[in-house]
Chain A
Amino acid sequence: MTVNFGIDLGTTNSVIARYDQGVVEVFKNPIGHKETLPSVVAFRGGRIIVGDKAREYMEKDPRNVFGSFKRKMGTSESFWVESITDTKTPVELSALVLKELKNFIYTGEALDAAVVTIPASFDTVQSNATRQAGHDAGFTEVFLLQEPIAASLAYVNKTSQEQVDQQWLVYDLGGGTFDVALVKTEHGEMRILDHQGDNFLGGVDFDNLIIEKIIVPYLKTRASFGDLEKELRSSSGRYNNLYYILLKKAEEAKVNLSSQTSTDIEFEIETPEGQLLDIFFPITRDQFEMCIREKILETVAMIRAILERNGLTSQQLACILMVGGSTYIPLVRQLVELELGIPISTTVDPTTAVAVGAAYFAGTKKRSVVQQAPAIDVHRNLKVKSGYSKVTQDKEEYFLAQVEGDWKGLYYRIIRTDGGFDTGLREVTERFTEYLPLAANMNNNFELKIFDSQNSLVFQDNTINIVNGKYGIMGQPLPHDICIEVDDPENNATKLEIVFSKNSLLPLKKTLTKEISKTIRKGSDDGVIINVLEGNHTASPLSNLSIGIIEVKGKELTVDLVKGSDIEIVLEMSESRDLRITTYLMMSDQEFTNLFNPSVRHVSLGKLRDDLVMLQRALDEETRGAVEREDYELSQQLNDLRITAVTLTREIDRLPEDDVTDTKYQLEDKKKMVSSRFDELTKDKKKLRAKTEYFLTRKWSQRLLDEHGTEAEKKEFANLVSNEKKLMASDSALMIESVTKQIEKIASHIRWRTPEHIIRIYYHYASLDDEYTDPEKARKLKEKGDQALERKNYEELKVIINQLYSLLPPQEQKRVDIKGTGIV
Chain B
Amino acid sequence: MENIKHHLKIINQFFEIEKKLAALNGAESAQRNVERIKSYFEEMGYQIHNPLGESYSETRTDCEASIAGASAENLYINEVIKPIVRYLQEGQPQIVQKGVVITRSR
Contacts and interface: CB of A to CB of B under 8 A. Distances in A.
Interface residues of B, number: 36
Nearest to A415: B61
A417 B59 contact: no
A244 B92 contact: no
A49 B81 contact: no
A57 B100 CA distance: 15
A568 B38 CA distance: 14
B68 A244 contact: yes
B59 A47 contact: yes
A247 interface: yes
Interface string B66-81: 1111111000001101
A248 B65 CA distance: 10
A44 B58 CA distance: 8
Interface string A347-381: 00000000000000000000000000000000000
A511 B70 contact: no
A306 to B, nearest CB: 37
Interface in B21-78: 23, 29, 32, 35-36, 39, 49, 57-62, 64-72, 78
Contact of B65 (A56, A421, A589): A56
A101 B81 CA distance: 29
B62 A419 contact: yes
A5 interface: no
B61 A32 contact: yes
Contact of B67 (A45, A60, A418, A568): A60
A476 interface: no
B36 A568 contact: yes
Interface string A578-609: 00000010000100000000000000000000
A236 interface: yes
A442 interface: yes
A600 B42 CA distance: 33
B79 A241 contact: yes
Contacts of A44: 58
Contacts of B23: 276
A244 B102 contact: yes
Nearest to B67: A60
Contacts of B49: 439-440
A555 interface: no
A243 B61 contact: no
A568 B32 contact: yes
B70 A422 contact: no
Interface string A238-272: 00110111011000000000000000001000000
Contacts of B16: 266
- The secondary-structure label for the interface of chain A is mixed
Contacts of A31: 61
Contact of B69 (A240, A419, A445, A513): A240
Contacts of A440: 49
B36 A511 contact: yes
Interface in B68-106: 68-72, 78-79, 81, 84, 86, 92-95, 98, 100, 102, 104
A542 interface: no
B67 A56 contact: yes
Given A245-B81, A513-B36, A421 B67 contact: no
B92 A60 contact: no
A61 B49 CA distance: 28
Contact of A420 (B72, B92, B95): B95
Contacts of A241: 68-69, 78-79, 102, 104
B58 A57 contact: yes
A756 interface: no
A103 to B, nearest CB: 13
Quick one: which of B16, B57, B61, B68 has the most chain A CB within 10 A?
A: B61
A248 B71 contact: no
B79 A49 contact: no
Interface in A18-60: 31-32, 42, 44-45, 47, 49, 52-54, 56-57, 59-60
22 contacts: A31-B61, A42-B58, A44-B58, A45-B58, A47-B59, A57-B67, A60-B72, A61-B72, A240-B69, A241-B69, A245-B81, A418-B92, A419-B62, A420-B61, A421-B59, A421-B61, A423-B59, A424-B58, A439-B49, A443-B92, A584-B32, A589-B29
Given A421-B61, A424-B59, 7 more contacts: A236-B70, A248-B81, A418-B86, A422-B59, A439-B93, A568-B36, A589-B29
